[in-house]
């Protein structure tokens, strides 16, 4: 299935991109699964999405937990904890 | 109810006046956030940011008597002393106005997708999220 992924702030800078459309292999069905899948690209991906790094995710523009299920056509975003206000 | 995520500055007086017309309103509480010390760039998530703020305002409305409300948050390049954020809440009485205003700010700090990058003398750096902000939002639960 195909999903849209967005990256913001320090994650966007580390990866050198702000968005991409990705065809996911079968078995990638959650936010956590997607993060693991992207990390397997290695290099900047392994670092920016490293397991110990504190990250937030959104699913279709709502804050989402790692266990949240994803489906074709979803918009998923990864970013660091927010610092507005 | 008004939510605006914008580059432009805002006029506190004009925004307060805009939500004060109803003669049943007896209190308007406002909070204005300013840039402290160093220049910065604010990044946001167009679409989600507006949506997240609107949801926070809805939560406030379900807990307190809020007759009108305006939230403005700026993005882009900002300099020391620039206004960043405005929360203005109109209610019949001050208790609801104060509480709703503080609640919206505390939640905005931890839930609305904004990221600050400060321009220091030795280069730019992303501001780290503060545990004290999470604590401030927690106490409303």
What are the Cα distances from residue A23, in Å, to A5, A71, B66?
A: 11, 11, 45
Around A62, how many Cα atoms within 13 Å sit in the side-chain half-sphere? 9
Binary contact (A85, B85; C-beta < 8 A): yes
Q: Give residue A69's pLDDT.
A: 98
Decide: B105 and B78 in contact? Cβ < 8 Å. Answer: no
> Token digits for A39?
């990390």
Q: What is the pLDDT of residues A7-51, one digit of tens each?
A: 999 999 999 999 999 999 999 999 999 999 999 999 999 999 999
Q: What torsion, rounded to 10 degrees, do the Cα atoms A57, A62, A67, A73 define?
A: -90
Using CA atoms, how far apart are residues B107 and A84, in angstroms rounded to an integer? 10
Cβ burial, residue B81 (10 Å; 0-12/13-18/19+): exposed
Coil, strand, or helix at residue B132? helix
Using CA atoms, how far apart are residues A31 and A58, in angstroms rounded to an integer? 9
Q: What is the pTM of this model?
A: 0.94
Q: How many CB atoms lie within 10 A of CB B105?
A: 19
Binary contact (A79, B111; C-beta < 8 A): no
Decide: B76 and B132 in contact? Cβ < 8 Å. Answer: no
Q: Give residue A58's pLDDT.
A: 98
* Chain A closest-CA separation from residue B126 CA (Å): 7
Q: Across the interface, which of B45, B84, B110 has its CB nearest the CB of A8?
A: B45
Give the mean pLDDT of B88-101.
98
Q: Give residue B90's pLDDT.
A: 98
Q: Any chain A CB within 8 A of the CB of B41?
A: no
* Chain B closest-CA separation from residue A10 CA (Å): 7
Q: What is the pLDDT of residues B46-93, one digit of tens each?
A: 999 999 999 999 999 999 999 999 999 999 999 999 999 999 999 999
Q: Across the interface, which of A6, A8, A82 has its CB nearest the CB of B129?
A: A82
């Amino acid at each position: 299935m195909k999903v849209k992924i967005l990256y913001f702030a320090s994650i966007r800078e580390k990866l050198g991109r702000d968005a991409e459309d990705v065809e996911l292999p079968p078995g990638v069905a959650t936010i956590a699964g997607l993060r693991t899948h992207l990390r397997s690209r290695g290099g900047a991906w392994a670092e920016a999405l490293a397991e110990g790094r504190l990250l937030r995710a959104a699913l279709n523009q709502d804050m989402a937990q790692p266990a949240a299920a994803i489906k074709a056509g979803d918009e998923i975003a990864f970013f660091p904890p927010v610092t507005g206000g | 109810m008004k939510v605006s995520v914008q580059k432009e500055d805002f006029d506190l007086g004009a925004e307060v006046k805009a939500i004060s017309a109803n003669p049943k309103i007896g209190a308007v509480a406002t909070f204005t956030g300013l840039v402290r010390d160093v220049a910065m760039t604010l990044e946001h998530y167009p679409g989600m940011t507006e949506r997240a703020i609107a949801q926070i305002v809805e939560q406030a409305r379900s807990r307190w008597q809020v007759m009108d409300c305006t939230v403005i948050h700026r993005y882009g390049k900002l300099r020391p002393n620039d206004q960043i954020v405005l929360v203005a809440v109109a209610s019949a009485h001050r208790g609801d106005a104060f509480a709703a205003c503080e609640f919206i700010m505390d939640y905005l700090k931890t839930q609305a997708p904004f990221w600050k990058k400060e321009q220091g003398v030795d280069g730019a750096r992303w501001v780290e999220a503060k545990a004290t902000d999470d604590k401030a939002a927690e106490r409303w639960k």
